[in-house]
Amino acid sequence: MTTRTDAAAKADQRRRRVPYLLLAPGMLWLLLFYVIPMFGLAITSLQEGSLEQGYTFTGNIGSYVSVFTTYLPQLRNSLMFALGATVIGLLVGYPLAYAIAFYTSRWKSLFLLMILVPFLVPFLLRTLAWRVILADQGVVVSALKTVGLLGENGRLLSTGWAILAGLVYNYLAFMTLPIYVSLDKIEPSLLEAANDLYATPWTAFRKVTLPMSMPGIISGTLLTFIPAAGDYVNVELLGNRNWTMMGNVIQSKFLVIIDYPAAAAISFTLMAIIVTVVVIYVRRVGTEELLT
């Protein structure tokens, strides 16, 4: 009897270890390629010096202060474009995901494949394609001039609208797919029950569909907002210096000016702001399914 009890206890201990063993590779990966580099970056942000003379740890926080003095316009642009891309992506992605989930039962795989196909092309090439689409002599500009939505000398390339279009296009799949997954999980019987209780289509959507799709909405908005806030490729290729974002400043500090402490400090500040915004957002509109 004692032997069986001991064996059962050992088996129970082994089962308890399984989750930790499964987590170990991912945790090790994060430790080696995220936590340790971030720790090194934090130390760099508090150093002073130059690449030729070397850097010395002095605890200098001047680079952090400059984010809110020198680079406040770039910070504003980053948050503004990220928010704009997220809102437009939601307005486009939700109806798209809704249509695929509820109205294309025979063609779901095809439509999902069409959403994913652009991601077979590198990010840089997709953005360069928008330079052709939005070129001054391109079809889009010509069509807008024809219908009077754009002046005779108007243009789209090198404007904020071009940057926004590039961001929405490049991150639309990150918005659409999580929403589709949430919508596809909704049981049709729930909507039928709402109809049986004399709910209008709008009421059924507001009371049933929308709340049950909130995990997808929250996931999609986060997956869009976070990378869009740190993007710099779209500004480089589709915008101009008037619309510089924090990602462009960081890229310039790291690769052009070679000011590692300032680049590290700006990176940490941007990351802290994004994390703060995300935490507030999730706490205000988050769901138990997402947070647990």
Look at residue 42 and tell me whether its pLDDT is greater than 80.
yes
pLDDT averaged over the chain?
Answer: 88
pLDDT for 3 equals: 60
As a whole-number percent, the residues of the chain with pLDDT over 70 amount to: 96
The pLDDT of 228-241, averaged and rounded, is 91
The pLDDT of 29-34, averaged and rounded, is 91
More confident residue, 12 or 125: 125
Separation CA 13–CA 8 (nearest Å):
9
Token output for 134: 């939005």
Pick the CATH number of 64-291 from 2.40.50.140, 1.10.460.10, 1.10.3720.10, 1.20.210.10: 1.10.3720.10
Phi, psi of 69 (to 5 degrees): -120, -65
**Residue-wise pLDDT tens digits, 199-228:** 888 998 988 999 999 999 999 999 999 999
Separation CA 254–CA 264 (nearest Å):
8
* 65 closest CA partner among 50, 41, 40, 45: 45
The tally of CA atoms less than 13 A away on the side-chain side of residue 252 is 12
- Could you tell me if residue 151 is left (phi over 0), alpha (psi between -120 and 50 degrees) or otherwise beta? beta
Torsion angle of alpha carbons 246, 249, 253, 256, nearest 10°? Answer: 140
pLDDT for 83 equals: 95
Separation CA 213–CA 261 (nearest Å):
43
Residue 104: strand, helix, or coil: coil
Cα distances from 282 to residues 92, 172, 270, 276, 286, in angstroms, run: 21, 20, 18, 10, 4
Separation CA 95–CA 76 (nearest Å):
29
Q: How confident is the model at residue 286 (pLDDT cuts 50, 70, 90)?
A: low
Cα Rg of the chain (Å, integer) = 25
CA 73 to chain centre: 21
